[in-house]
Amino acid sequence: MKTNELMGTSEEYILHTYNRFPIVLDHGKGAYLYDTDGKEYLDFAAGIAVCALGHSNPEYLDALKGQMDKLMHVSNLYYNEPMMEAGKKLIDASGMDKVFFTNSGTEAIEGALKAAKKYAAQRDGHSGHEIIAMEHSFHGRSVGALSVTGNAHYREPFEPLMGGVKFAEFNNLESVEKLITDKTCAVILETVQGEGGIYPADPAFLQGVRRICDEHDIVMILDEIQCGMGRCGRYFAWQEYGVQPDIMTCAKALGGGVPVGAFVMNHKVAAASLEPGDHGTTYGGNPFVCAAVSKVFDLFEQYNLISHVQELTPYLEQKLSGIAEKYDCISGRRGKGFMQGLVITGRPVGEVIARAMENGLLVISAGSDVLRLVPPLIITKEQIDEMAEKLEKSLA
């Protein structure tokens, strides 16, 4: 089928919840994608921060194919070896204690919220607790996750959502303190806000939230779905802040492209929250996705991906800051590691993204005016140069 025909057929059958870019992606190799017309794109979107290993990594694919031939799915009624391996690797990387595998980031958020509520209900002998979330946050589109998402435009058509949620200002500790009551059971935040516009937490803010949570026995939930898995130069972005959450959520890059998420807890919460019968999922943690997760961790180690991100981050930041200074339509750069944003104020960000696509570079937006770059973690210095060249061509 011709590209136009494919897009037409897609619009005929697939519910229109996305305004898609007018290309049909067909295959990929490393940091490059190819459309059905054979055009090449340097991929600085990575399926929204998912494809950390790039596309079609042969070792990753071999591991998946091997597991496929052996066992795809058995349900959570039985043990399976890949889940045990993936779980151990995630616990080792995070230094936390217990993991529950889910099918998506949203579902990891749901589990984290339930665990926090159960922890408080068990401690207090009653339910009815409240949660503090952040303005401009993004945690997903299900009813629970949407309830803690700080974007009124996403929430309003679906209200009433889950009750008992209050929004504080990100990076403003006083605004969090003001909302604490004896009913507060959790504070949920992204270590680096992604969809909201690439805002890293200030160290003092994150440490302050940790202190407040400790003082009041409140569960601190860090959403690492986008900023985790090496993207910010550590396995998890919070590891650089000297704080550890009580619950962390992961997804996106966790499976390198298979649909998988996880919520991970410390002993305190794990020992006094979800018990048999409290939570479940049919697919979550099945052998196929867990073989992928397990291989992702192996390849992170084999390729020294975290050090690679640390080593190349100054170069990426310097390139982007240089571009930000050169073009009047860019008012600044912010981000951490390979999670970077350029604030485009002089023209619509969508226009720059469309021109970049024409020039063979895939980038995405965040918030209303941020051009977001979340490349595969395997990118090279030369590919950063190529990105900068294509981006400049799109800004000129």
Residues within the interface to ligand PLP (CB under 6 A): 104-106, 109, 138-140, 190, 194-195, 223, 225-226, 251-252, 261
Of the two residues 195 and 369, which places its CB atom closer to ligand PLP in the complex?
Answer: 195
Supply the minimum distance, in Å, between the C-beta of residue 142 and ligand PLP.
Answer: 8
Supply the minimum distance, in Å, between the C-beta of residue 15 and ligand PLP.
Answer: 16
Supply the minimum distance, in Å, between the C-beta of residue 194 and ligand PLP.
Answer: 4
Of the two residues 225 and 387, which places its CB atom closer to ligand PLP in the complex?
Answer: 225
Is 343 within 8 Å of 370 (Cβ atoms)? Answer: yes
Supply the minimum distance, in Å, between the C-beta of residue 301 and ligand PLP.
Answer: 24
Of the two residues 34 and 283, which places its CB atom closer to ligand PLP in the complex?
Answer: 283
Of the two residues 98 and 252, which places its CB atom closer to ligand PLP in the complex?
Answer: 252
Supply the minimum distance, in Å, between the C-beta of residue 166 and ligand PLP.
Answer: 19
Supply the minimum distance, in Å, between the C-beta of residue 321 and ligand PLP.
Answer: 24
Of the two residues 251 and 293, which places its CB atom closer to ligand PLP in the complex?
Answer: 251
Of the two residues 150 and 261, which places its CB atom closer to ligand PLP in the complex?
Answer: 261
Of the two residues 28 and 144, which places its CB atom closer to ligand PLP in the complex?
Answer: 144
Supply the minimum distance, in Å, between the C-beta of residue 205 and ligand PLP.
Answer: 17
Any idea which residue has 């990100």 for tokens? 170
